[in-house]
Structure 1
Amino acid sequence: MEQSKIEKKNETQIEKTVGWILRTGVFISIVIMLIGVIIFFVKGNDGYPNKIPSNLLSLFNGLLQAKAAAWMMIGIFVLILTPAIRVFASIFAFLFEKDYLYTTITAIVFLILVFAAIIGLS
């Protein structure tokens, strides 16, 4: 009986942590995108004469140069990255619970996400 209470408490804490990760990621992406929108309205353009770059290095350089489109694209990137971070955190949550089946499944899902991202970037 006592073990069950401890397991429920651990499960609740893990759910809160995962929820916090998702909320924080969404909040950070909204803030980044709002900065981009503000820069757009202040400057009157997106900062790029032809097309917005799609590689991360160019986008990070655009952040330093206060280019609105770069800020908005990085905000979208953070939003897309948030669930992947949640999957990564879940690996450790399942390890903590000693649920090795779900640890393995979640690790495989994370590897698939990483593999897809590598393919998408190339």
Structure 2
Amino acid sequence: MTHEKFGEKDFQTIIGNLLRYGVWVSLSVAFIGGIVYLMHHGNDIEDYSVFKENDRNIFEVISAVYNGVIQGNGESLIFFGVILLFLTPVLRVLLSLFSFLLEKDYLYVGITLIVIFIILVSVSLGFSH
């Protein structure tokens, strides 16, 4: 019995599948959320003359979305689908980091860590005022 090493091709397959299925799952969740939302609010008339700003921090938003998804809230399902869509390429970057670590390609490990840092900073600043 030969013991094969987990290689770059394996990571490329995993990353490709992550991107492919991540997009489909996130779109499916958002689509189902849209159907649920329209079933409950299809006849509502929205007032777009007033913009309602959200002053909650990221933890409050995630908690509200989680609770809404558990309750089957259409808006929360749509937002969860958007979060999944956002997380798909972020997970791809994290998988790339492990791939570069296994290959001992430290230049790309450094670049990938910088990208992860930029993502974390932009998400953190995006939810704080």
Common fold by TM > 0.5: yes
Q: Which has the higher helix share?
A: 1
List alignment gaps of at least 5 residues for structure 1: 1-5
Equivalent pairs, count: 115
TM-score by length of 1: 0.79
Structure 2 partner of 1:92: 98
Encode CA deviations 1:7-41: one digit per residue, 9 max, x unaligned.
9x923222111111111211220221122022123
Q: 2:8 aligns with which of 8, 11, 15?
A: 11
Write out aligned runs for 1:57-72 (5 A).
Answer: 57-72=63-78
1:73 is aligned to 2:79: yes
Root mean square deviation, CA, Å: 2.8
The equivalent of 1:3 in structure 2 is none
Work out the CA distance in 1 between the residues paired with 2:84 and 2:127: 15
2:84 maps to a residue whose letter is V
Which residue number in structure 2 is paired with residue 31 of structure 1? 28
- Segments of structure 2 that go 5 or more residues without pairing to the other structure are none
Q: Does structure 2 retain, via aligned residues, the 8 Å contact 1:52–1:70?
A: no
Distance 1:116 1:103 in 2: 20
Secondary structure in structure 1 of the residue aligned to 2:72: coil
The residue identity in structure 2 corresponding to 1:69 is: E
- When normalised by structure 2's length, the TM-score is 0.75
- Structure 1 residue runs of 4 or more that deviate by more than 3 Å after TM superposition: 49-54
* Matches of 1:52 and 1:93, distance apart in 2: 40
Q: Which residue pairs with 2:111 in the alignment? A: 105
| Distance (whole Å) between structure 1 residues aligned to residue 65 and residue 11 of structure 2 | 34
Post-superposition shift, 1:65? 2.3
Write the distance in 1 (CA, Å) between the matches of 2:53 and 2:31: 18
Relative contact order, higher structure (CA 8 A, sep 6+): 2
